[in-house]
Structure 1
Amino acid sequence: MVDRDCAAILVRLREIGSPEKVAGMARYGINSDGTPGVSVCDSRGADRVASDLRELRSEKAVRRLGLVSGG
């Protein structure tokens, strides 16, 4: 399930990405291979992508520790 959620988040990041931002990264010598071109500000406002990532990390930590999350 986590792999599917991560894949969905990556798809969403690629949807909101910008080729212009990737080109801007390359101008400053930043490796842009496979980069979706999403700024931190974009990720915060785009369907709460950052929140989704935090939630996935906490779910992964719960499983790693063998804890059961309440629902």
Structure 2
Amino acid sequence: MVFKLIRFLNELAYICVITIFLNMYSELHYALVFFLFGSMIAAIKYDIRDEEYSYLYKAYREHLQDSKRI
């Protein structure tokens, strides 16, 4: 669990560094869009690494069960 959190924080650090360079050499909104999408992807990757406790897998399984009931 701790190792996955460290990998997640490492990915966020890379995203922050790239965002700083984008902000220095281009307009601010490009850097903000990159930061938002990059952090979303990092959060999703962190969530789906552990299938047993993953929120996305749980929601997907519930959706499949609900669609079978209809």
User: What is the TM-score normalised by the length of structure 2?
Assistant: 0.31
User: What is the TM-score normalised by the length of structure 1?
Assistant: 0.31
More helix by share: 2
